Chains A and B, each alone.
Chain A
Amino acid sequence: MMVLVSGCSDTDDNKDNLNENSLTKEEVEFEAPTEIKWDDLVAEDYQPEKIIAKYQKQIDKYDAEDYSPEAEAFYNKINAELNNAPVNETIHNQQIKLPGFIAPLTQDNGVITEFLLVPYFGACIHVPPPPINQTVLIKVAKNNGIKIDDSFGAFWISGQIRIDNKKTDIGEAGYRIENAVIEVYDE
C-alpha cells in the first residue's frame, strides 16, 4: 500500500523510522517504496517567502520591465538564494517512488542507462533549470534501461534515494538513486 509521505508535517515520524528500522541492505531492498512528491525533496525549513520578504522593498523599487544591469544583478542574487534550497536530509536512504521526466545522460545502444530526473518536461533543453534539490541523478538497475524512443512522457522511478554529501567546492550535495526501476506514469 502506497503511503503519501508529506515531509513537512511528518518530520518526527520519519526520523523515528530511520532510527528504529536500522535498515539492513536486504530490508531496504524488500521494502515497498513510498510515494513522494517533489516538494518532499526540499528541506522543510526552506521558506522562499522569507527570502522574498527580505527583499520585498527592493523588489518594489524595480519596474517589472526593468532590464538594467543593476536590476538583472539584483534578481540574479535573489534567484541564487532561492536556488540554494538545501536538501531534505530525512529522506536519505528511503525506498521511494517519484514521478518525473527523463533528461538522458548516458545511453548504451539506444537504451538510456543514466539520466537526470526533473519535475517538468522541457527542462531538458533550454528552459530555466530546476534547482539542485529538484533534480535526481538516476542510474538504472541492470536491464532496466529505457529506450530513447520511449523516454518521452512521465515515469515513476522507484529506488533508494541517497543524498550525495560530497559538498566539496566543485559539486553541490544532490540526490541520487542507483538501481532504479522505471515504470510508465499513467494517471
Chain B
Amino acid sequence: MKLLKIALKSACNRKVSLSLTMFSIAISIVLLLGVDTIRKQAKNNFINTISQTDLIVGARTSPINLLLYSIFHIGNATNNVSYASYKQIAALKQVKWSVPISLGDSHRGFRVMGTNSDYFRYYRHSNTQSLHFQQGVEFSDVYDAVVGFDVAQSLNYQLNTQIVLNHGIVATKYSEHDDKPFRIVGILKKTNTPVDRTVLVSLQGIEAIHVDWQSGKRSALKISAKKARQMGLEPKSITAFMLGVESKITLFSLQRKINNHPNEPLQAIMPGSTLASLWQTMGQFEKVLMAVSVLVLFTGLMGLLTALLTTLNERRREMAVLRAVGAHAYHIIVLFVLEAILVVMGGFLFGIAMLYAMQAIMQPILADSYGIFLSLKMLDGEQIIILLVALLLAIILSLIPGLIAYKRSLQDGLMVKI
C-alpha cells in the first residue's frame, strides 16, 4: 500500500506527460473497442434482419445488391419486376407463400415500401419474431400507412397523423406526392431491423400516387386522390418479392427456374447464402480494421514506455533516496510497474467513458445512413480480454525501465551523479 502511495505521489510530479500518455492509450482503446463493438452489432443486425424466407427475387443484378436494397434498403434497384412475372412465379406449385414489395419513395428520409397484408403475415426477423403492432392495425384503405417504431418516435407520429410521401429517396418540395396524403393507421413495435425506419403502404397506394407520374414527373393532367382511388390500381410492376417454398430440397431447382425465366431477366437468391458471402467479403475488411486498431494500441503503449524511459535520469535521485530509507531493489521495479498500471487503467477508464459517449452520439447517425442499430451494452468477454492483454503488455513493457532503474540503483548507492 505504501508503495502505491509513493507511486502515486511520484507520478504527480510528472502528471503532464503521464496524462498525455493516458490520453493516447484512451484513444487507442476507443478505437479498438469501438471497432469491435460496431463490427459485432452490425453483423448481428444484418443477420437478424430476415429469417424464414427461402428466396428473394428481383430484377437481375448482383445477389448482394439485391439483398441489400430489398431487405436492408441500402442502395437502389437496377430495374423492376413485372407484376405478371411475379404472379406467374407465385403460382408455381413449389411456392408456399409470396410477398411482393415495391420501393422507390420516401418520407422525410425514411424509405417507403409498398406491399400487401401478406408482409405482416410472413415477414420474420431475429429467427422467429414476426411483426407486432404497438398501436393500430394493418393498412386496408388505399391511403393507409403503417410506420415503423423509429419513424413514429423521431417524427412524433400518432395514429391518424397525415403524412405526405416523397418521390425518390431524398426529400424535396417539388417531388412530393402532396395531392395524395396518407393516414397512419398502425405503428409497429421496435424490431431493431430496417423495418423500424420504414413506412409501409399498400401496393395500391403506390400505384395511386404514381397515377399521374407516368412520364417520370408529375403530369399537368392532375388526378385527384379521390379519383385515383376509384381507378383500377393493380400494379404493373414491383421491385422484388419474397418467397417461401413447400419443400426446401427443391430450392435449387426453383431458383434456377426463376433465374431462367423466359420473359424477363430475374435473379433469385437464397438470403442465407448471400448473407454468408457478404460476410466473407466484410470479414477481410474487418481484419484490416482490427489490425489498424491493434497498431494504434501498440503506439499508445510505446508512448507509455517512452514516458517512463525519458524520465529515468531525473528519477535517479528519487530512487537513491528510496533505497536509503530502506526500499529493496525489487521495490524499484514494482514502482515502475505500478506506475504503468496506473496510467493504463486510467487510460482504460477514460477510454471506456469516451467510447460510450461516442456511441451515444453516433447511434442516430449509424441508424440513419447505414441501418446499424447500436445498443449500448456492457463490454463482452472478448473485449475484456483485449483490455487485459493490453494491461499485461503494459506491465511487461514497464519492466524495461524498471530493470534499468534497478540496476542503476544498485550501482549508484547514495552518491548519485546527476
Partner-B contacts on A (CB < 8 A):
83, 103-110, 112, 114-116, 118, 123-126, 128-132, 135, 137, 148-149, 151-152, 164, 166, 169-172, 174-176
Can you report 14 residue pairs joining A to B where beta carbons are below 8 Å apart? A105-B54, A105-B248, A107-B51, A109-B48, A109-B127, A125-B269, A126-B63, A126-B267, A129-B252, A137-B248, A148-B276, A149-B280, A149-B283, A172-B249
Select one of B127, B270, B275 contacting A148, CB under 8 A: B275
On chain A, the residues within 8 Å of B274 by CB distance are 125
Let me know if B272 and A108 touch, CB within 8 A: no
Let me know if A110 and B47 touch, CB within 8 A: yes
**CB proximity of A107 to chain B, nearest CB, Å:** 6
How long is the Cα–Cα vector from A171 to B276 in the complex, in angstroms? 26
Contact with A along B41-66 (1 / 0, CB 8 A): 00110011001101000000001000
Q: Closest residue to A132 on the B side, CB-wise? A: B249
**CB proximity of B52 to chain A, nearest CB, Å:** 7
Contact with A along B247-290 (1 / 0, CB 8 A): 11111110110010000000101101111110110010000000
Interface positions of B from 25 to 53, Cβ below 8 Å from A? 43-44, 47-48, 51-52
On chain B, the residues within 8 Å of A149 by CB distance are 279-280, 283
Q: Closest residue to B43 on the A side, CB-wise? A: A110
Contact A116 B247, CB 8 Å, known A125-B277, A170-B94: no
Let me know if A132 and B253 touch, CB within 8 A: yes
Size band of the B side of the interface?
20 to 34
B377 sits at the interface (CB 8 A): no
On chain B, the residues within 8 Å of A114 by CB distance are 248
Contact A135 B94, CB 8 Å, known A105-B270, A125-B277: no
How long is the Cα–Cα vector from A169 to B247 in the complex, in angstroms? 11
On chain A, the residues within 8 Å of B247 by CB distance are 164, 166, 170-172, 174
How long is the Cα–Cα vector from A23 to B401 in the complex, in angstroms? 71
On chain B, the residues within 8 Å of A131 by CB distance are 253
How long is the Cα–Cα vector from A169 to B270 in the complex, in angstroms? 23
Contact with A along B83-112 (1 / 0, CB 8 A): 000000000011000000000000000000
Let me know if B249 and A109 touch, CB within 8 A: no
Let me know if B127 and A135 touch, CB within 8 A: no
How long is the Cα–Cα vector from A1 to B320 in the complex, in angstroms? 72
Let me know if B44 and A109 touch, CB within 8 A: yes
- Which of B63, B248, B251 counts the most chain A CB atoms within 10 A? B248
B234 sits at the interface (CB 8 A): no
On chain A, the residues within 8 Å of B93 by CB distance are 169-170
Let me know if B273 and A125 touch, CB within 8 A: yes
**CB proximity of A30 to chain B, nearest CB, Å:** 28
Let me know if A107 and B249 touch, CB within 8 A: no
How long is the Cα–Cα vector from A112 to B283 in the complex, in angstroms? 17
Let me know if A164 and B273 touch, CB within 8 A: no
Let me know if B44 and A171 touch, CB within 8 A: no
Let me know if B47 and A164 touch, CB within 8 A: no
How long is the Cα–Cα vector from A129 to B55 in the complex, in angstroms? 15
How long is the Cα–Cα vector from A125 to B248 in the complex, in angstroms? 15
On chain B, the residues within 8 Å of A107 by CB distance are 47, 51, 127, 272
B246 sits at the interface (CB 8 A): yes
Q: Closest residue to B269 on the A side, CB-wise? A: A125
How long is the Cα–Cα vector from A126 to B246 in the complex, in angstroms? 21
**CB proximity of B153 to chain A, nearest CB, Å:** 26
Let me know if B249 and A135 touch, CB within 8 A: yes
Select one of B51, B52, B251, B275 contacting A116, CB under 8 A: B251
Let me know if A135 and B47 touch, CB within 8 A: no
The 5 A-B pairs at the shortest CB distance, nearest first, are namely A171-B247, A129-B252, A104-B272, A174-B249, A124-B273
Let me know if B280 and A152 touch, CB within 8 A: yes
Task: Given A103-B273, A131-B253, output 15 extra A-B contacts at Cβ < 8 Å.
Answer: A83-B253, A103-B270, A104-B275, A105-B248, A105-B270, A124-B273, A124-B276, A125-B63, A125-B277, A129-B252, A148-B47, A148-B275, A148-B279, A149-B279, A170-B246
